[in-house]
Chains A and B, each alone.
Chain A
């Protein structure tokens, strides 16, 4: 399935809903969109992976890149993911220790947005 990217705002958070397959071919589009959002001033960014069918190392690299960019900009970055196959990918790569991962968009956007991205 093709990559889909939709942005919406929830309170002070910019939520990027990602759908389809994030791989070596499609990940550059995700990277571009995240850079555009930060360049446009978004500082509290949540990436919702609930509609992602496939995520590879290239996609994970793009997400780490966004985390670093927001950290530099004194923003926050979080992921929404409750799918076990995707969560397993985060565990195996130890990236579950790098990203704040929330089960729902509500949980991701209810937290205190003033903390550092970590």
Chain B
């Protein structure tokens, strides 16, 4: 099993770097070419969410992305926001998406989660084991090498 770990300051500019690394490691791990767009989008959404949480709560802690391959390709995106920030994370129904009263942040969060849930078959959002924070864990199949 190989592991690649990337930590970055919670700034939007670094999310692209995380996407690029995540896709490069996925390709090397043997994730099917046709899934790479989805891997790229899902890692980007998970990191965007983590960066937004850190900024919302004024946290300067690094966001961590850990990628590992064994029987599958597993990506864990770890933030340090309060766990209650992740409660109520849900997909928005279409009739609420263009609702005038919905804030841009709430819309983006809801759409982001819809993308994660839609593109990742094996998705878990759970509290980190130590301290405060949430781990978004995503798993994709790899071809036998």
CA–CA, A33 and B104, complex, Å: 17
**Of A21, A25, A61, A71, which one neighbours B107 at CB under 8 angstroms?**
A61
**Of A21, A24, A57, A97, which one neighbours B115 at CB under 8 angstroms?**
A57
Chain A interface mostly: helix
Q: Is the CB of B107 within 8 A of A64?
A: yes
Determine how close the nearest CB of chain A comes to the CB of B92; give it in whole angstroms: 8
**Of B15, B48, B111, which one neighbours A93 at CB under 8 angstroms?**
B111
Question: A57-72: contact bitstring with B at CB < 8 Å (1 yes, 0 no)?
Answer: 1101100110110010
Interface size class of B (residues with CB under 8 A): 20 to 34
CB nearest neighbor in B for A94? B94
Q: Is the CB of A93 within 8 A of B98?
A: no
Determine how close the nearest CB of chain A comes to the CB of B129; give it in whole angstroms: 27
Number of A residues whose C-beta is below 8 Å from B? 23
* Contacts known (A68-B98, A92-B115, A94-B94); A58 close to B108, Cβ less than 8 A: yes
Q: Is the CB of B108 within 8 A of A61?
A: yes
Question: B58-101: contact bitstring with A at CB < 8 Å (1 yes, 0 no)?
Answer: 00000000000000000000000000000000001110011010
**B112: interface (CB < 8 Å):** yes
**A85: interface (CB < 8 Å):** yes
Q: Is the CB of A89 within 8 A of B115?
A: yes
